[in-house]
Amino acid sequence: MKKALFTLLLTLSCLVSVAVEVNSPSGNLSLTFDVNKVGKPFYSLTFKGKDVIEPSYMGFKFSDGKDYSNWFTIVKVDTTSFTETWKPVWGEVDSIIDNHNELTALLKHVPTNTFMMIRFRVFDDCAAFRYEFDRNSNHAYIKVENEVSEFNLTGDHKTFWIPGNPDSNEYKYMTTPLSGIDASKADGDAIGTHMIVADNCIQSPVMMKSSDGLYINIFEAALSDYPAMMLTIDKKNFLFTSLLAGGAVKGVAAFLQTPCKTPWRTIIVSDKAEDILASKSILNLNEPCKIENTDFIKPFKMVGVWWEMHVPAHSSWNYADEWNLKLAGTDWNSLKPNGRHGANTENVKKYIDFAADNGIDAVLVEGWNIGWEDWAGNWKEEVFDFVTPYPDFDVKEITSYAASKGVKMIMHNETSSSVTNYERRIDSAIDFMKRWGYTGVKTGYVGWIIPRGETHDGQWMVNHYERVTKKMADAGLMLDAHEAVRPTGQHRTYPNLLACESARGNEFNAWSDGNLPEHETILPFTRLMGGPMDYTPGIFKIKMSDYQGGNTCQVHTTLAKQLALYVTMFSPIQMAADLPENYKEHMDAFQFIKDVAVNWDDTKVLEAEPGDYITIARKAKGSENWFIGAITDENSRTSDIKFDFLDAGKKYIATIYADGKDADWFSNPTSYTIYKKSVKKGDKLKIKMANGGGCAISLKPVE
């Protein structure tokens, strides 16, 4: 033993440790890597000469009881440069430049003779690293207890965070200094799966602002066959350490087989908040598209038999009010209908008509299939079969009616997190969708996972979501996943994964104390960093007391801000989420939802500050039309919009959907005004937004 230690120390002392540096193409970001005296790998990062990440250790705890965060020697380092321009199948911009410098460090863990590669990529707005083990790593199988990647911050930054929970992201954001993080204080009404890992544990992505004006976002890219990353904080030292979401096996977060690699750990940095929102580094760190024929992937707008189930005293998903029913053995035709079932043929046709009349591409219907009578909260295995409609949902009639009107149908597969059941039945679910001509599917994972003990963000479920995405791609179906793990840019690889929810959506405004007016100014800096969110904007009937007297729930925005969200919350699936009858009362405002694009050739983040405001302009795909969304938090704000981005020499008609003079998200949310103005490149426009307000603008060139 002593001899082994002596040899080890001798090996390490023979090592001349030389710090290696890799800079971003412009030199803005500079990353240094080294191994210290006891063989601990560490890195640090600066932005324009300012420290962003102070020396931070890297490594692992495997379940073999050995510590893989020290006793490493550097075997070899290499640097390369890379530039490429690629075109996403859909997105915020037409083409994306991937320009980075790469550093690879091959390390040897002396006590176990294990080889590990750390790969760094440094872009102008992001530094990233991942660990890789090839077949010669001296391991065939690896059981990871935890990954020990540190992010050692320079001060007590202002931080936007939600509590660490491997089963939900549906929380309100908290804003505190790093030293003020206390997950036990976070709002705990995540639906059914609220579980705090530890007081000092938060989800990634985390967004921060330093006192010297740096914006820093820590997250991950290309999560595959590995658990999602949470972060624990050492509040005295402002030091985050990765914590992998666990699963059913205590003490093992990830089961790996070499060759294998971890997701990328990303640190996006700028002195301008706008650059954080514009960053494409997470996409660049994902693999190119693996779907050969992407013709079936078409960004779309939808309405749905959906919000009417969320608002009070209205419709239900379930057909009957009987409970304790079994999927097999229940005669669903003999149940007494409750008279409130939303997914009935006549009602669905109403939505199809509304979609057809207003150029909305598709209709989503929830609650169409048997099993909703006791679908949630019982942690039972056999809930839905995904192929049997309720007696009052005539799938033949509905799908032929939709087809006759040129409207697409979107399937709903709520799994109630009985995931083994879904995996058993997914092929027949897909056959059903193909048979009836559905073009996409919204999946859902409400409740605790079955297999029991697995978690929404653990490795087993990460693999499940990927299996489902691939299966849907093979079947030519688009996917919108709710309650799934937060996305990390995989829509580059599988662009049929159009959107995920994976955060606290607009629905919370229907039945809980809701989302704070600042919520939508934080989401793009956090949850949306990894991919689009199906947030379901467009609610015009803001107060739930309009459905049920005395109800205090409400949407925490003005109506105009609901319109602006179609631009500020990028998604290639956008729902016009409210009921058709509520739109019919405000068809002048609904015009914006009809007009707005869902796929873009260009995007300009005009101004942004996390937690306060965001203004974004986007140019519609294949068109000269631009759309602008501006939103503010609970404070009113005047935004100075500069039309620098417009084409020179062209005149545009701007239609401006603004808050009314007396608008206020609480006392007068539906006060809005619509007016037109002629604008050209270089013009400026002052827009006043109410407390919790916003403004939407459409710009069309004058022929």
Nearest residue (CB) to ligand NOJ, 173 versus 657: 173
Strand arrangement of the beta sheet that strand 440-444 belongs to: 497-500, 478-481, 440-444, 408-414, 362-365, 300-305, 573-575
Task: Provide the minimum distance between the beta carbon of 505 and Ca ion in the complex, in angstroms, as a whole number.
Answer: 6
CA-to-CA distance for 332 and 372, rounded, in angstroms?
A: 11
Q: Give 204 or 417: the residue with its C-beta nearer to ligand NOJ.
A: 417
> 483: helix, coil or strand?
coil
Q: Are 461 and 455 in contact (CB under 8 A)?
A: yes
- Mark the segment that binds Ca ion (CB under 5 A) among 96-104, 105-113, 498-506, 643-651: 498-506
How many CB atoms sit inside 10 A of residue 7's CB? Answer: 12
Give the shortest CB-535-to-Ca ion separation in angstroms: 11
Nearer to ligand NOJ, 195 or 403 (CB): 195
482 or 491, CB closer to Ca ion? 482
For the CA atoms of 93, 94, 97, 98, what is the dihedral angle to 10 degrees?
A: 80
Could you tell me the sign of the dihedral formed by the alpha carbons of 659, 660, 664, 670, in that order? Answer: negative
Q: Tell me the window of 40-48, 77-85, 139-147, 499-507 that interacts with ligand NOJ (CB under 6 A).
A: 499-507
Cβ-contact 122, 27 below 8 angstroms: no
Q: 444 is in the binding site of which of Ca ion, ligand NOJ, none (Cβ under 5 to 8 A by kind)?
A: ligand NOJ
The one among 124, 150, 220, 414 contacting ligand NOJ by CB under 6 A: 414
Helix (H, G, I), strand (E, B) or coil at 381: coil
* 444 binds ligand NOJ, rule: CB under 6 A: yes
Binding partner selected for residue 274 from Ca ion, ligand NOJ, none, CB under the kind-specific 5 to 8 Å limit? none
| 93 vs 446 by CB, closer to ligand NOJ | 446
150, 220, 507, 518: which one is catalytic? Answer: 507
The interface mask with Ca ion, positions 467-496, x = CB under 5 A, is ---------------x--------------
Alpha-carbon gap, residue 354 to 359, rounded angstroms: 9
Query: Residue 120 forms beta bridges with which residues?
Result: 103, 129
CB 696 within 8 Å of CB 560: yes
Site string for ligand NOJ, 205-234 (x = CB under 6 A): ------------------------------
Q: Which is nearer to ligand NOJ, 317 or 627 (CB)?
A: 317
Instruction: Check: CB of residue 118 under 8 Å from CB of residue 75.
Output: no
> Which one among 507, 520, 633, 659 touches ligand NOJ, defined by CB under 6 A?
507
* CA separation for the pair 298, 634 (Å, rounded): 35
Sheet (strand 67-68) strand order: 67-68, 60-62, 141-147, 254-257
Residue number with CB closer to Ca ion (501 or 633): 501
Pairing type for strands 440-444 and 408-414 reads parallel
State which of positions 303-362 bind Ca ion (CB under 5 A): none
Residue 507 Cβ vs ligand NOJ, minimum distance, rounded to whole Å: 6
CA atoms within 13 A on the CB side of 630: 24
Check: CB of residue 500 under 8 Å from CB of residue 534: yes
Per CB under 6 A, contacts with ligand NOJ among 121-180 are none
> Is the distance from CB of 574 to CB of 360 less than 8 angstroms?
no
For residue 111, count CB atoms less than 10 angstroms from its CB and return exposed for 0-12, middle for 13-18, buried for 19 or more: middle
Judged by CB under 6 A, the chain residues 320 through 379 that form the site for ligand NOJ are 366
CB 480 within 8 A of CB 441: yes
Residue 648, φ and ψ in degrees, nearest 5:
-65, 145
Please, what is the minimum distance in Å from the beta carbon of residue 449 to ligand NOJ?
15
Shortest Cβ 425–Ca ion spacing (Å): 22
Is 446 a binding residue for ligand NOJ by CB under 6 A? The answer is yes
In whole angstroms, the minimum distance from the beta carbon of 505 to ligand NOJ comes to 6
d(CA 34, CA 413): 49
Catalytic residue status for 287: no
Q: Residue 343 Cβ, how far from ligand NOJ at the closest point, in Å?
A: 12
- Pick the closer one to Ca ion by CB: 190 or 252: 190
Q: Closest Cα to residue 233, out of 188, 277, 180, 282? A: 180
The minimum distance between CB 160 and Ca ion, in angstroms, equals: 20
**Rounded to the nearest whole angstrom, what is the least distance from the CB of residue 169 to Ca ion in the complex?**
9
Q: For residue 636, how many other CB atoms are within 10 A of its CB?
A: 16
Token output for 372? 């909703």
366 binds, among Ca ion, ligand NOJ, none (CB under 5 to 8 A by kind): ligand NOJ
Considering beta carbons, is residue 414 or 466 the nearer one to Ca ion?
Answer: 414
Q: What are phi and psi of 591, to 5 degrees?
A: -50, -35
Helices of type H across 300-369: 307-310, 345-358
Q: Which partner from the list ligand NOJ, Ca ion, none does 72 bind, CB cut-off 5 to 8 Å by kind?
A: none
Question: Which partner from the list Ca ion, ligand NOJ, none does 414 bind, CB cut-off 5 to 8 Å by kind?
Answer: ligand NOJ
From the list 62-70, 501-509, 625-633, 636-644, the region that binds ligand NOJ by CB under 6 A is 501-509
Which residues are known catalytic residues? 507
Interacting residues toward ligand NOJ by CB under 6 A:
306, 366, 414, 444, 446, 482, 501, 505, 507
Interacting residues toward Ca ion by CB under 5 A:
482, 501
